[in-house]
Structure 1
Amino acid sequence: MNWALVGASTIASQYMIGALRAQGGTVRRVVSGSADHAARYAQEHDIPHSGTDLDAALADEAVEAVYISSTNEKHHAQAMAAIAAGKHVLCEKPLALSLAEAREMIAAAEAAGVALGVNHHLRHAGSHRAIRETIAAGRLGRVLSLRVFHAVHLPEHLRGWRLDNPGAGGGVIPDITVHNADTVRFLLQEDPISVVAQSASSGMGQGVEDSAMSVWSMPSGAMVFSHESFTHPYTTSGLEVHGTEGSLIARGVMAQEPEGALELVTADGRSALPFDKTSLYETAVAGFMRAARTGKTPSASGRDGLLSLMIALAVRQAADSGQCQTLEYGAAT
């Protein structure tokens, strides 16, 4: 599959270009807001064509798919242009900044008969797939609670608009809460019915939140606690799933690398759970390309992106208002 990169981003440089090529893909074009940056990026990554003109890239008949990793407020317009040009679209999270934009993108892709996927990489980790299988097999019994701790220290090279530009989609909620939402949805196979939350700017955020905590009520009766931050340099990420027959402790798994450790705790004692260490991004790209080729739904679909965005926006509204937010999914499905 021939690809165009829309956004000469760090994540594309570090992970996605390699993942696309690992699946036999060709990166044919890169589009950036800066011609100089695009040219340097293309030279560094051996990409034949670069520039600032998205329309020109989309007019290239050899381009079959685009990967969008521009700033968040650009996702909608760029995806809509790509869909109109008949290209498959793999978009970084969040899918859009509003539910209306996300719904429009999903409808357009369905009408055009192209695949629309969201790069929610965590559900493609071997660790998370092993957790999902453990829950589905009933080894934990009935799930009572799930705790996600995704407080990190935002790396220097990722700072900038995430910390000071709400118009571009800055803040820890659109950056990390959407990941937590997709992870919880994937692991529990259900969507929260209500959320309460608080957020804060604890040293890095300027005009946006850099830390948030929220509690979600699930239809099954399970409770979810989600903690995300940009300001914690000395901790580790992970999650815990607690059920009537056991607990699963995951450390270091809320990451871009296939790392971490899983421990299952039951009446029989403690045991380590093995998991696949394949690149998260290679797994995600392989699944997306299969879906695009076969007409099937990507493993992290536009609908998944919409629902994770819906949850994140409810968390932000709960934090801003100090009131519990009820989620209604009828119009989102």
Structure 2
Amino acid sequence: MTGELTVGLLGAGMIAGVHAHAYRDSPGVRLAAVADTVRGKAERIADRHGAKVVPDLYALLDLGVDVVDICTPPTAHADATIAALRAGRHVLCEKPITRTMDEARRVLAAADAAPGLLSIGQVARYGPDHRLARDLAASGEIGLVRMLSHSTTTSLPGWSEGGWLADPATSGGPLLDQAVHSFDYARWVIGSPAVRVHCMAADSDAGALTYTLTTVRYENGAIAHIECSWAHPASRGFKLRAEITGTDGQLSWDYDHMIGGVLHAHDGDSEWWDVLGDREFTHELSAFFQACRDGGPPPVPAVEAVESLRTALAALESARTGQTIDLIRWEL
């Protein structure tokens, strides 16, 4: 594919705005239209980027966009992804790939039959620190990876339309919305399928199962320890700590916040400078657009995202039942 790539953005929440901002660093890519059930939200993004506002996915498809970027709540991912793929479009779908495994299987079947690419927004793979650590581990710099720990702790996100993130039936809570990044990253680094999952979780003022500790065993014998929380004070901000331990060394990194600064305009809204988010999403979207031009492969294949979804759903089941989940035998 040569020439301009046009994008239709489905959803106009916080993450959609980040995506739209990141398009500007991909030459030859134009945001053509934005669709959202709340027209005012779509207008804010569209006006900023010179795009049209349309009512829904089918209006985006009628415009003939090359790419559909799906930034809706996860319960809406499956139907939108399948419809866009069947219409012959390339699709980038935010994580998690779907809310349920039944939906995920439907998406996989549609992706296998479609001419366009499907990639999933597991953006942690594109953070320079995360990618460098993975590349060093893959090179053998620290020997054979035996353990990975990944901790992301924050307060309950307050930006979702109608508070859908606080509804476990929609978001899956922090294990599915946030820890799915950690499960994906661990699988990518360790390079072996997850076989057992055990999760302990506590309730908090943020809701049920909002502080979690998950241990994952992989087929090659490595283990991952995943901490995830929406139960921390809002004043503390977002914090990340990570370690990869191998037979010949260890890598570690952390950061205390994701916001680099804020511009308080005399008129209009404040503008936050999300340094970490900007660089990760810029790399992620650039890689996806290049894959569309090259004819593939997708940067984050759907089948890999389904593994991360299944691990997160197993952690939820383990937290509810107190049982270790054997992924080899577990049916969902």
TM-score category by the smaller chain?
0.7 to 0.9
Q: Quote the offset at 1:139 in angstroms.
A: 2.2
Which residue matches 1:169?
171
**SS in structure 2 of the partner of residue 157 of structure 1:** coil
Q: How does 1:42-121 map to 2 (within 5 A)?
A: 42-43=46-47, 45-61=48-64, 63-121=65-123
State, as a whole percentage, how many aligned pairs show the same letter: 29
Structure 1 residues 155 and 330, CA gap change in structure 2 (3 angstroms): closer
Q: Quote the offset at 1:331 in angstroms.
A: 9.9
The partner residue of 1:151 within 150, 153, 160 is 153
Q: What is the alpha-carbon distance in structure 1 between the residues aligned to residue 124 and residue 281 of structure 2?
A: 9
Q: What is the alpha-carbon distance in structure 2 between the residues aligned to residue 256 and residue 309 of structure 1?
A: 28
Which residue matches 2:271?
none
Q: Is the 8 A contact 1:94 1:178 kept in 2?
A: yes
Structure 1 residues 170 and 241, CA gap change in structure 2 (3 angstroms): same
Which residue matches 1:131?
133
Q: Is the 8 A contact 1:173 1:212 kept in 2?
A: yes
Tell me, which stretches of 5 or more residues in structure 1 are unaligned? 258-275
What is the TM-score normalised by the length of structure 1?
A: 0.85
**SS in structure 1 of the partner of residue 204 of structure 2:** coil
Q: Which amino acid aligns with 1:50?
A: V
Instruction: Tell me if 1:291 matches 2:294.
Output: no
Q: Quote the offset at 1:158 in angstroms.
A: 4.6
Q: What is the alpha-carbon distance in structure 1 between the residues aligned to residue 123 and residue 19 of structure 2?
A: 11
Q: Quote the offset at 1:239 in angstroms.
A: 0.7
Q: Which amino acid aligns with 1:16?
A: H
Q: What is the alpha-carbon distance in structure 1 between the residues aligned to residue 128 and residue 329 of structure 2?
A: 29
Q: Is the 8 A contact 2:214 2:226 kept in 1?
A: yes
Q: Quote the offset at 1:41 in angstroms.
A: 3.5
Q: Is the 8 A contact 1:126 1:277 kept in 2?
A: no
Q: Is the 8 A contact 2:212 2:227 kept in 1?
A: yes
The partner residue of 1:248 within 243, 247, 251 is 251
Cα offsets for 1:304-326 (capped at 9, x unmatched): 21111011011111111111111
Tell me, which stretches of 5 or more residues in structure 2 are unaligned? 261-275
Which residue matches 1:3?
7
Q: Quote the offset at 1:110 in angstroms.
A: 2.3
Cα offsets for 1:89-126 (capped at 9, x unmatched): 10011110112211211221221211101111110111
**SS in structure 2 of the partner of residue 279 of structure 1:** helix
**SS in structure 1 of the partner of residue 245 of structure 2:** strand
Q: Which amino acid aligns with 1:76?
A: A
What is the TM-score normalised by the length of structure 2?
A: 0.86
Which residue matches 2:191?
189
Aligned residues: 308
Q: Which amino acid aligns with 1:120?
A: Q
Q: Is the 8 A contact 2:10 2:35 kept in 1?
A: yes
Which residue matches 1:270?
none
Structure 1 residues 248 and 37, CA gap change in structure 2 (3 angstroms): closer
